[in-house]
Structure 1
Amino acid sequence: MASLIRTGFRRTCICSSSQIGTLRSKNALSSISRLGNTTFASQPQPLTKSPFHSNMLRILRNEIVYQYEYAPPHQPEAEFKSFTVEERRGEQVVTIKGKFGECEDIKIEATMFDGCEHVPACDDFSSGVNVRLHLSLIVDISKGEGGSELEFVCSAWPDCLNVEKVYMLRRGCMPARPYIGPNFRDLNAKVQEKFYDYLDARGVNDELADFLHKYMMNKDRIELLRWMGSLKSFVER
């Protein structure tokens, strides 16, 4: 079951925004053949665009310009406190790695936004409902190569991190149907609290959830612009 959950989080290769531009013109090729005293020359024919095609390109170009001006993305962060962030271009997952002490390796895989919930608005100027975005985390804590791993499946909201599942894994020798433990929320409240303290000591806490939400908001802008740039380049061909 743990492997199935992990597979769900491992999930288009998009051109960078610097590639958004005009299509390179093709070199004209001319061929000359003679028949008796007559010379024939073939010239490249101009590529004609239909009104629909031209209109689609215009709309795409305008949308790209609008998106850049409305909320321009910035260079993704490479570090957060003791963690190193590994940007996975064109993917919906970000990997964060760190260490705790001399022997513990921490690896976190976070999805882009995969859900939301509606909450009442706190001011008088909105429609009365706000949206809280959600992303999912898998936190692996291991000690040495080939040893056991403690794995946490977490929900990250903008202001908090919640543990959903806890697994004890042993790489390479897992039984076909391992016992994976009870639902985390069925554990004694004091046991739950100690697990939260355990993660907090390693920097896996509400601050990390806040950082990841800001990071993913920026990544969402970057991936959108890359996707639109690739789409425009394809239509221009």
Structure 2
Amino acid sequence: MWRTAMTRATGAIRSPLQGITTTPFRRHYSSRSNSPSAVVNSMILRSLKDHYTEVSKMAPPPKVSPPAPFTVVKGALDSSGPVLRRMFGDEEISLSVMRMINILPGVDPSEIDGDDEINQLFLHADISKPGQDYVLHFLCGLYPDALGIHSVSLRHKLETSGLLEVPAKYNGPSFEALDDRMRDAFHGYIEERGINEVLFPFLQAWLYVKDHRSLMHWFKSVGTCVKKVN
């Protein structure tokens, strides 16, 4: 149950991929030879360089700081782990984020409006206490003006790595199966810990920066692989 109406925001940050121009594919070479083609490699490298230059010139979004007292996890841009962390009494709260379009199976990105794609995030919130083997895990949908809980589960914390394993046992009832009073109580529980739509501007901008870095790295890495074939 959403705590606020989910109206669509305008003027959203665009994904770096939305700024890349594409051209129709036209075959300019013969594929009869099994040996690497210098012409093909040259075409790929030239295209990669052009796109790399185009993406590198994109203006970053305005700098946004995370809402206090959350702090950015060191090295988060280069990992798939938590992005933000804070303490709430003796509890440690870790937040991870990804775009909703990247994890929903069977969804065709071409059928989704550009703003919807950017404005729909999945937020993973892990709340742990010292001495406990399990963390309370909230999976939430995060929007510019709303946050909704999709599920609440317990996950075992691996002592050696601190990572969270996929739950193998009963994962609890569907959140929608809970009565209104319990759903509202869970919303109040995470709201009290600062987990709400106020996080959206920072996480949206952070994902843009991460996507931009990943795209630049991809162009560079693919170019290196193509060069090594020669």
**TM-score normalised per structure 1:** 0.61
Residues 163 and 54 (structure 1 numbering): CA distance in 2 closer, same or farther, change over 3 Å?
same
Higher helix proportion, which one?
2
For structure 1, list consecutive stretches of 5 or more residues without a partner in the other structure: 1-48, 119-128
Per-residue deviation, 1:72: 3.9
Alignment correspondent of 1:51: 39
Query: Which structure's CA Rg is the greater one?
Result: 1
- The alignment yields a C-alpha RMSD, in angstroms, of 3.3
Alignment correspondent of 1:183: 174
Residues 143 and 190 (structure 1 numbering): CA distance in 2 closer, same or farther, change over 3 Å?
same
Report % sequence identity: 25
Per-residue deviation, 1:215: 1.2
Alignment correspondent of 2:70: 83
For structure 2, list consecutive stretches of 5 or more residues without a partner in the other structure: 1-36, 159-166
What is the alpha-carbon distance in structure 1 between the residues aligned to residue 152 and residue 38 of structure 2?
57
Per-residue deviation, 1:76: 8.4
Per-residue deviation, 1:178: 4.1
Alignment correspondent of 2:125: 139
Residues 55 and 179 (structure 1 numbering): CA distance in 2 closer, same or farther, change over 3 Å?
closer
What is the alpha-carbon distance in structure 2 between the residues aligned to residue 94 and residue 60 of structure 1?
31
What is the alpha-carbon distance in structure 1 between the residues aligned to residue 170 and residue 45 of structure 2?
55
Higher strand proportion, which one?
1
Q: How does 1:1-237 map to 2 (within 5 A)?
A: 50-69=38-57, 71-73=58-60, 79-86=66-73, 87-101=75-89, 103-113=90-100, 114=102, 131-133=115-117, 134-169=120-155, 171=157, 178-237=169-228
> Residue 220 of structure 2 aligns to a residue in which SS?
helix
Aligned length: 175
What is the alpha-carbon distance in structure 2 between the residues aligned to residue 212 and residue 184 of structure 1?
24
**Is 1:160–1:205's contact at 8 Å kept on the other side of the alignment?**
yes
**Is 1:97–1:105's contact at 8 Å kept on the other side of the alignment?**
yes
Per-residue deviation, 1:78: 7.8
1:59 maps to amino acid: S
Q: Looking at both structures, which has the greater relative contact order when contacts are Cα pairs under 8 Å and sequence separation is at least 6?
A: 2
What CA deviation, in whole Å up to 9, does each residue of 1:164-193 have, x standing for no partner?
Answer: 111245657xxx964433211222222212
**TM-score normalised per structure 2:** 0.63
**Is 2:94–2:125's contact at 8 Å kept on the other side of the alignment?**
yes
**Is 1:158–1:213's contact at 8 Å kept on the other side of the alignment?**
no
What CA deviation, in whole Å up to 9, does each residue of 1:177-234 have, x standing for no partner?
Answer: 6443321122222221221121111111011133212211221111111111111222
